[in-house]
Amino acid sequence: MPQGALLRSPGGLSAAQVFRLQGSVPASKLRARLAQLLTACARDPEDRVVTLVTLSLAALDGHDAYDELAGALGKDAPLPRRNGDDVMRSTQADVLVQVAAGDVEARLWPLRRAVDALRGIATLEEELQGGRIGKGREPFGFVDGVRAPTPEEVRDVVTIPRGKAAGATWLFYQRWQQRLELFASLRDRAQENVMGITRDGGEMPNAPKDSHVTLAREYHRGVAGAFIRRGFPIRSWGEEGLAFLAAAKDPRAFALALDIMLGVAGPPDALLRYAYPVGGGLYVAPPSAEWLSATGASTRL
Ligand code: HEM
């Protein structure tokens, strides 16, 4: 079973935090703290908030599943990614926490808890607050999350089925900035040509080949390209964008998607003229606190 937070999203308020481990702190210490955080976050009797706790592959060094996870990733991490001069850079850190809450106060709790849990060993590098996961309208005004996957579909797409990493999930994160003014200067039809769907999520029979959804469907329909999107719109100091988050059992799905966006084997995604990625990285969602503590005696705290 994947971490429970991957299957539920109780409300319209999201948040994400990214932490970086401080220099000489052993990965096993981070994992012990995260196991406590996972246990604490699982106890929300009123069901007002869910918290997804993830960590980098590097932070799993010494864990029983490390070799299998590293083998599945191979040498091709999704970020950094480039095609000629176009580069999507990596800001890979060590912990990513994603929160979905029903009200503002409930959203604050896990954010405070995570900072407390990691005090003295990791530094908060990013904190984003925004809207609903995969529903509603993204900042350009297009309906997002046209069809929400069922819990069974999520389980099937995101859960590593066997081996020492069974139950774990890869989580890809990329923060996007959207050029709202530039996009707004396009006529309605031209905007739809960029996205490849109508504003309300309707089909466009003759959508341009480089439109976002047309290109996305090229890989997304196949098993190898399958991931579940769980991003949310963000706004901070007048800047808007998307915290793109996606979960999969096969980490190669993300590299494939980004290569197609960058136009490695065809036209680049038209969306890249109106939005650009700021950074991101790849994380692993452990299935449980117990799994996180399953390390050889030499690295156990
Ligand atoms: C600013 C960045 C982005 C914006 C504004 C955006 C917006 C959208 C919108 C409006 C849709 C159609 C509605 C829906 O199905 O939810 C969509 C679909 C999709 N997007 Fe994005 N997206 C962004 C980045 C990305 C990235 C980075 C990826 C992959 C790495 C991606 C992959 C997809 C996929 C797979 C679909 C579903 C296509 C389908 O099967 O119909 N998007 N996106």
Ligand 1 pocket, 244 CB below 6 A?
yes
CATH number at residue 38: 3.30.70.100
Q: Which of 137, 144, 157 to mutate to test the pocket of ligand 1 (most atoms within 8 A of CB)?
A: 144
Q: Is the pTM of this model over 0.85?
A: yes
Yes or no: say if 230 and 98 are a contact pair by the CB < 8 Å rule: yes
E strand spans, 93-202:
95-101, 122-130, 169-178
* Tally of structural domains, the chain: 1
Yes or no: say if 110 and 41 are a contact pair by the CB < 8 Å rule: yes
Q: What is the CA radius of gyration of the chain?
A: 19
Is residue 299 very low, low, confident or very high in pLDDT (cuts 50, 70, 90)? very low
Q: Which domain does 244 fall in, by range? A: 4-299
The residues with which 81 forms a beta bridge, in sequence order, are 88
Give the long-range contacts of residues 148-154, CB within 8 A, separation 24 or more: 149/228, 151/7, 151/8, 153/228, 154/2, 154/6, 154/7, 154/228, 154/247
pLDDT tens, 79-136?
999 999 999 999 999 999 999 999 999 999 999 999 999 999 999 999 999 998 877 7
165 Cα: distance to centroid of ligand 1 (angstroms): 28
Ligand 1 pocket, 197 CB below 6 A?
yes
Q: Which of 135, 138, 200, 239 to mutate to test the pocket of ligand 1 (most atoms within 8 A of CB)?
A: 138
How are the residues of the chain apportioned to helix, strand and coil, as percentages rounded to the nearest 5? 30, 25, 40
38 vs 15: CA distance, rounded Å: 16
167 Cα: distance to centroid of ligand 1 (angstroms): 26
At 115, list the tokens: 């900072």
